[in-house]
Structure 1
């Protein structure tokens, strides 16, 4: 007996076309092109989740460095001083303190200077 793929194929196509919603041209409504476009988009999104983490770390380092230079230190000397002083704050928290609470960051910078 022959097995027909009608409902299975329709469901698969609908799933791909739903994922391709909003794509321009044939990529949004022709199954073959939509499938290729969705596969490409998924590959980029997987890659760019890693890239986003990298970019955020770069931004935190830039902010910490700018605040450190205001307090007469460089980024590397600040981080070395904090490590020697036993202060274990990650870059995300340090960047937030540098951006939103300059007085507290100045205290951390003085602690780092004293530890060097």
Structure 2
């Protein structure tokens, strides 16, 4: 089972507004035949690390899944546990967005940047 992490992400307010209010997660299974399972966990990082997202999904072959999560927090982290026959063909990216839906360029983690 592969475990990917965004690592801790700082989202402190600037002029009273946090840069990111929503996180978009894209999961891509490039395998043409096999599916995969993904467990998504999101954590609020404060004086303690507290889970606020816990979801398991099945990603069918040649499928892209998009999920949206609340992120109007000072600091957060997402973990992804990937299993199944297509484990090595699954890629995950995480994107921060403003309340308007506009991407926050400094808040993005693409497949090649995920920590192992």
Q: TM-score, normalised by structure 1?
A: 0.20
- Higher relative contact order (Cα pairs below 8 Å, separated by 6+ residues): 2
Q: Which has the higher helix share?
A: 1
Q: Which has the higher strand share?
A: 2
Rg larger in structure: 1
Q: TM-score, normalised by structure 2?
A: 0.20
